[in-house]
Amino acid sequence: YQLAGNRFTIAFAGKGAFYFVLYGIYALFFLTVNFTILTLPVRGDYFSLVLLIGLFIATLIPMALWLGSLFKTTLLAVQLMGFSTYPFFLITGYAWPYEELPFFLKALSSLLPTTPFLQAYTTIVQQGGGLWQAIPQVVHLSALWLAYAILLAINVRRSYKV
């Protein structure tokens, strides 16, 4: 933030672009290995899947930066994320039916980008749909991106007292 001249948008765009490219390459590698080399079927539109993954990565970036900004040390943030990853995955509705989750867990899982992503991913990969069939999840991911970006901006400005 300070290297960007105390301008949040430049700091966010710089860090975000780096992480987007890095994890975008990981995602393309994942798609190549899983669907091409292992010959797993993609029943839907491959381009829709790439766009969905791009939106998912873009949504994870402000969430991760915001969560990281809540802690004094990187070690504490990594320990918390390592401890919470498996329970978060369980409430996304992929390992356990989303409809069977209690209301408070559904509410909590709706705050995680993984939940709408996995629903849209299933629509495209397993059900043969396109991005148009996953519009509610795309809107949900976009709203989460905006919410986490706002939370990050508030926390960064508060931390640096701007």
pLDDT tens-digit profile of 106-156?
898 899 999 999 999 999 998 998 899 999 999 999 999 999 999 998 988
- 8 A C-beta contact, residue 136 and residue 60: no
Q: For residue 2, what pLDDT band results from cuts at 50, 70 and 90?
A: low
Q: What pLDDT, on a 0 to 100 scale, did the predictor assign at position 72?
A: 82
Distance CA(145)–CA(55), nearest Å, equals: 9
- Mean pLDDT of the region 97-107: 86
Q: What pLDDT, on a 0 to 100 scale, did the predictor assign at position 59?
A: 96
Q: Structure pTM?
A: 0.86
Quick one: residue 7, left, alpha or beta (phi over 0 = left, psi -120 to 50 = alpha)? beta
Q: What pLDDT, on a 0 to 100 scale, did the predictor assign at position 6?
A: 67
pLDDT tens-digit profile of 5-40?
666 777 778 889 999 999 999 999 988 888 888 888
Q: Is the pLDDT of residue 1 over 60?
A: no
Q: What pLDDT, on a 0 to 100 scale, did the predictor assign at position 79?
A: 81
Q: What pLDDT, on a 0 to 100 scale, did the predictor assign at position 3?
A: 60
Distance CA(61)–CA(93), nearest Å, equals: 22
- Mean pLDDT of the region 62-78: 85
Average pLDDT, the chain: 86
Q: How far apart are the first and last CA of the chain?
A: 11
Distance CA(158)–CA(162), nearest Å, equals: 7
Nearest residue to 120 via CA among 149, 144, 156: 144
Distance CA(100)–CA(92), nearest Å, equals: 11
Distance CA(143)–CA(149), nearest Å, equals: 10
Distance CA(60)–CA(68), nearest Å, equals: 12
Q: For residue 159, what pLDDT band results from cuts at 50, 70 and 90?
A: confident
